Amino acid sequence: GDSVTQMEGPVTLSEEAFLTINCTYTATGYPSLFWYVQYPGEGLQLLLKATKADDKGSNKGFEATYRKETTSFHLEKGSVQVSDSAVYFCALSDYGGATNKLIFGTGTLLAVQP
């Protein structure tokens, strides 16, 4: 079945460091890919998405490119801030049958230190 694999956390960085969180997927069809973020004590917020191969999603300085050849959707940010500390979830939506349910990775905790 479809699945998403994320790098294990926690990831601890200093402010202004470069961030990469790896995400790879397995899907039978042509999925859309998403990054959601969960700030402490809050719900899930959509960070960015890409709906087809070679698409780049971007938002708030974060970017991810849909790579079909490597089945990857790595999240990057050039300079992280303390306020970016959160749990990041990679997810896919692969319409199969009657539903476009989301399948999530395990989440990666990012802690940014001043």
Partner 1 sequence: DSGVTQTPKHLITATGQRVTLRCSPRSGDLSVYWYQQSLDQGLQFLIQYYNGEERAKGNILERFSAQQFPDLHSELNLSSLELGDSALYFCASSARGDGVRETQYFGPGTRLLVL
CB of 32 to partner 1, least distance (A): 4
Residue among 12, 20, 21, 11 at smallest CA distance from 90 = 21
CB of 58 to partner 1, least distance (A): 15
Applying CB under 8 A, the residues found at the interface with partner 1 are 29-32, 34, 36, 42-46, 49, 51, 89, 93-95, 97-107
Between 77 and 105, CB nearer to partner 1 = 105
Between 17 and 26, CB nearer to partner 1 = 26
Between 19 and 91, CB nearer to partner 1 = 91
d(CA 112, CA 105): 21
Residue among 6, 2, 4, 3 at smallest CA distance from 75 = 6
Looking only at the bridges linking them, the beta strands covering 32-38 and 44-50 are antiparallel
CB of 101 to partner 1, least distance (A): 4
Q: Which residue has the tokens 């802690």?
A: 111
